[in-house]
Amino acid sequence: MFEATTILAYKGHNKAVIGGDGQVTFGNAVLKSNATKIRTLHNGKILAGFAGSTADAFNLFDMFEEILEQKKGDIVKSVIEFSKAWRKDKVLRRLEAMMIVLNTEKIFILTGNGDVVEPEDGEIASIGSGGNFAISAARALKKHAKDMDEAELVKESLIVAADLCIYTNHNIKTLQLEK
């Protein structure tokens, strides 16, 4: 895991939601507390989040969006093609970076190693230094707070991660897609 951020995505029954904190660190110093590490892609039909270097995020988001356009928004074909391109690029594959991409039907974790991982439950994924805290909280809330809205579940889970991970802050942003 990277000492970079926390991104959590949840593909629930009514919404697909992604959230991330705003902290950017350099070593043991906070450079920025309100960065945006999530975005909508392909005319607002795909959500994406990034853990790793901020400059690399822009390159990878742009690269993924180009592939989405080529594949007419087909997320499955796009993640496979993107993963191949990321892995083949000698500079990009060395990045210590991960992405989560999702729509209302599918959710994937992507890495420069060529990994395309669909979470076992097909619903919740996390990346970054606080990812394990966030996903643990999300699973518990999903199980025990059954009437909690998807966006609220993501936000509350990221708050738990921010309470525990020194590389994650409470400046949380979320994006969502309605089903």
Active site residues: 5
Residues 6+ apart with CB under 8 A from 58: none
Q: How far apart are CA 49 and CA 160, in angstroms?
A: 18
User: In this structure, what is the dihedral angle of CA atoms 34, 138, 163, 4, given to the nearest 10 degrees?
Assistant: -50
- Given CA atoms 14, 125, 99, 26 in this order, what sign does their dihedral have? positive
The CA distance from 147 to 143, in Å, is 10
